[in-house]
């Protein structure tokens, strides 16, 4: 995958595992019910008898040097991801795509944030606009520790060298049942407000929300064999990101500046579990409940930096509906099916969190 998924997610997992397990393993008694609705996509959700593989343990990965230019990396095992084997997305045709970026640790005033060169802000994750001022992303992209960093959400961007509209997240709600990197139920929702620290581009905003499976009219459930499209600004190579960044002062030397996309096909969970196991991931079939899996030709996948970004399916000609969020996958992107949070399993939770604003989700 191009939010390796394994490498990008593992960096955060190694640093944040104690906090994640402490804060996420037990749901708050006041948190809205967030268990996935397994009535959706039955042929992706029910396992044949005895269809389990050994339990996964996500390998720890080394963190990059703690420098201002070091790329932030979400996830454990393979949760950070990138588009591998993809191509430039058509300009202006994916207006729901969001980007989450960070300036790193430290307290900054609004004036200091405004003076910070754009290339000092590093790409963290993807996201997707689902209603005015609301995005979905992966829970591992907005952990409590990451929220202590300086985070911005960018909308309306195609080429990251040409800034879009920037927002801060004034409310972040992660699925209380998510228990850590490489685990199911990896979904979070955030409310946006315009960033006072960043300039506003001239002209009308070039972003708009996308319909969601489970809310969208005239749209069937997710099943195996469906064509899907995944987009993101994640890494496209296995190169060392720190070496590349040290050698260049450009905005994203290790990730493509232009939004990338890749075409994949959904697969059933048994095929997914077997593929992940063959790629070195010990994963139980139960770990895939509430998820979608998708695979492409060898070397076609999402990976580091794509996490939280959208998987969409076509409803009509050039009209799309959100069906998944990039979550995790094999350490080497493109060698096994990738795992995506199945958004149609979380419609009740999304409605509870958004309240009256849920009416803003396109149908």
Give the domains, in start order, of the chain with CATH numbers: 5-27+35-354 (2.40.10.10)
| Residue 104 φ/ψ region, left for φ over 0, alpha for ψ in the -120 to 50 degree band, beta for the rest | left
pLDDT, residue 10, reads 41
The 10 Å CB-count burial string (b at 16+, else e) for 274-294 is bbbbebebebbbebbbbbbbb
User: Cα(77)–Cα(355) distance, rounded to whole angstroms?
Assistant: 34
- Integer angstrom CA distances of residue 298 from 84, 87, 334: 10, 15, 6
Residue 229 pLDDT: 96
Residue of 81, 307, 327, 345 marked active site? 307
Q: Is 170 in the active site?
A: no
Query: How high is the pLDDT of residue 237?
Result: 58
pLDDT of the residue at 16: 36
| Cα-based distances in Å from 229 to 51, 174, 204, 301, 308 | 28, 24, 27, 10, 14
CA atoms 226, 92, 298, 281: torsion sign? negative
Strands (E), the chain: 87-88, 97-102, 122-131, 134-137, 151-155, 165-174, 188-194, 227-232, 260-267, 291-295, 310-316, 319-328, 338-342
Residue from 2, 76, 123, 140 carrying the catalytic annotation: 140
Among candidate residues 328, 290, 302, the one with its CA nearest the CA of residue 140: 328
pLDDT at 314: 95
Residue 92: count of CB within 10 angstroms of its CB: 10
Alpha-carbon span 173 to 178, nearest angstrom: 11
Residue 78 is among the residues annotated as catalytic for this protein:
no
Q: What is the pLDDT along the chain (363 residues), one digit of tens a residue?
A: 433 344 444 433 333 333 333 333 333 334 455 557 655 554 454 433 334 333 333 223 223 322 222 333 333 334 433 466 777 889 999 999 999 998 776 667 767 766 666 667 788 999 999 999 999 999 999 999 898 888 999 999 999 888 899 999 999 999 999 987 778 899 999 999 999 878 889 899 999 999 999 999 999 999 999 999 999 988 675 433 433 443 443 333 356 789 999 999 999 999 999 999 999 988 887 889 899 999 988 888 887 789 999 999 999 888 999 999 999 988 888 889 999 999 999 999 999 999 999 999 999
Q: Is residue 186 among the annotated active site residues? A: yes
Annotated catalytic residue: which of 2, 76, 78, 186? Answer: 186
């Amino acid at each position: 995958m191009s939010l390796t998924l394994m490498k990008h997610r593992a960096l955060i997992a190694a640093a944040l595992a104690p906090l994640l397990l402490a804060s996420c393993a037990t749901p708050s008694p006041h948190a809205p019910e967030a268990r996935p609705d397994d009535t959706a996509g039955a042929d992706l959700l029910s396992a044949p008898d005895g269809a389990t593989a050994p339990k996964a343990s996500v390998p720890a990965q080394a963190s990059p040097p703690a420098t201002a230019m070091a790329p932030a990396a979400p996830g454990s095992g393979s949760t950070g991801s990138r588009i591998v084997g993809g191509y430039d997305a058509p300009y202006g045709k994916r207006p729901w795509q969001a980007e989450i970026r960070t300036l790193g640790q430290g307290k900054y005033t609004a004036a200091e944030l405004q003076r910070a060169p754009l290339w000092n802000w590093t790409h963290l994750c993807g996201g997707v606009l689902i209603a005015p001022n609301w995005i979905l992303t992966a829970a591992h992209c907005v952990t409590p520790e990451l929220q202590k960093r300086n985070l911005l959400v960018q909308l309306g961007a195609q080429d990251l060298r040409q800034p879009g509209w920037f927002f801060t997240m004034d409310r972040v709600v992660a699925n209380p049942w998510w228990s850590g990197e490489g685990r199911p139920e990896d979904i979070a929702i955030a409310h946006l407000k315009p960033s006072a620290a960043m300039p506003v581009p001239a002209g009308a905003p070039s972003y708009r929300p996308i319909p969601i499976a489970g809310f969208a009219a005239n749209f069937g459930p997710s099943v195996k064999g469906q064509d899907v499209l995944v987009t993101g600004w994640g890494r496209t190579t296995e190169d060392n990101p720190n070496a590349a960044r040290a050698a260049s002062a450009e905005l994203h030397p290790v990730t493509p500046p232009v939004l990338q996309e890749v075409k994949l096909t959904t697969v059933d969970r048994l095929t997914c579990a077997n593929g992940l196991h063959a790629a070195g991931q010990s994963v139980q079939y139960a770990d895939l409940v509430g998820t979608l899996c998708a695979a492409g030709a060898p070397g076609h996948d999402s990976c580091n930096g794509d996490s939280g970004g959208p998987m969409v399916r076509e409803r009509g000609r050039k009209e799309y509906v959100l069906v998944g969020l990039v979550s995790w996958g094999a350490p080497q992107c493109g060698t096994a099916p990738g795992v995506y949070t199945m958004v149609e399993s979380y419609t009740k939770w999304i409605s509870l969190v958004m309240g009256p604003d849920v009416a803003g989700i396109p149908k």
